[in-house]
Structure 1
């Protein structure tokens, strides 16, 4: 099983398209500080290659004293159809651990009916870079990391990649559904709110993300 980071040639439209928008009120910077300019990035979900499946996962942690945390994820084919999805509350913990729980649950669900090529995508960049060897910093116990690696080995090929939250809407909505209607869904039957987001992804709807970008010299 080869597990590698997504290549630029794999899904060219996955790369955010950036357009620099001048700031109306630039921040106060010292003479030595590099100038920053807000940028508008359009992010969209991309389907996996033909014959592959794609797992999008997400974890949510509330820091409002409620003790709430949840995980969610969806497995889709090359046409964007949801083959399986899950949403469930989980024990309150750090964001890193909850995100890892979501990934583990998603991989377990996927391997129950598929062992081919799998694209794994989430908005926890620290976790994705840890698993692809780009980063050594970790927010999860070694035992969780080893469990994830072991699960990934059940697939013939696996590609892990980061996506901004704006492109991870289906998994994000599933985290919210965990408090209203937790469960596991198969055969394309999912809550209406999840179906709406999946339909947007199938139609290539792009979502705007505002960020800051250093001015190129």
Structure 2
């Protein structure tokens, strides 16, 4: 079965910090994948701290604990759910989509079948970042 690459940018009013904005982005991504009835998800986020808080099973006392809790609960809805930190240079498409959504002042959604060649490239990238 082929893979599908999706992205979304959501306009959100008043967010208290960049840290909270990153956590909300994870939640929006998970909800978007649920809306599309995905069973398996690899969510890429731009904040290493937020990703670590979501995958960590320890007690979270941070300002975003309610958001990380919600992300953890949403992740349970999938048969497979993995989180990866991706720095800005590796996530140019997401940043371009966000800029476009802000300029248009609307939510934006993108869904596309991933060509086999791109899947191989992405898999190679993951192996170089997170070797087996």
What TM-score does the superposition give when structure 2 sets the normalisation length?
Answer: 0.70
Tell me which residue corresponds to 1:170: 93
Pick from 107, 110, 117: which aligns with 2:40?
117
Report which of the two has the higher share of helix.
Answer: 2
Tell me: CA distance 1:135–1:87, structure 2 relative to 1, closer, same or farther (3 Å). Answer: same
Deviations 1:5-26 (A, max 9, x none): xxxxxxxxxxxxxxxxxxxxxx
Equivalent residues of 1:115, 1:155 under 8 A apart: yes
Specify the alignment match of 2:108 in structure 1.
Answer: 184
- Equivalents in 2 of 1:173, 1:124: separation in Å? 17
Indicate the RMSD between aligned Cα atoms, in angstroms: 2.9
Q: Which runs of 4+ in 1 moved over 4 A?
A: 50-53, 134-139
Larger Rg: 1
Distance 1:153 1:180, change over 3 A: same
Structure 2: state its 5+ residue gaps: 113-117, 122-132
Aligned to 1:130: 53
Report the Cα offset of residue 170 of structure 1.
1.4
Q: Distance in 1 between matches of 2:63 and 2:30?
A: 17
TM-score (norm 1): 0.45
How much has 1:168 moved relative to structure 2? 1.0
Which structure exhibits the higher relative contact order, with contacts defined as CA atoms closer than 8 Å and separated by 6 or more residues?
2
Query: Does the aligned pair in 1 maintain the 2:23–2:64 contact within 8 Å?
Result: no
CA distance in 2, matches of 1:133, 1:96: 16
The residue that corresponds to 2:31 in the other structure is 108
2:10/2:28 contact within 8 Å kept: no
> Number of aligned pairs?
115
Matched residue of 1:88: which SS? Answer: coil
**Aligned CA distance change for structure 1 residues 135 and 171 (closer, same or farther; 3 Å):** farther
1:97 to partner: Cα distance: 0.4
Report the CA distance between 1:171 and its aligned residue.
1.4
Q: Give 2:124's aligned residue.
A: none
* Map of 2:68 onto structure 1: 145
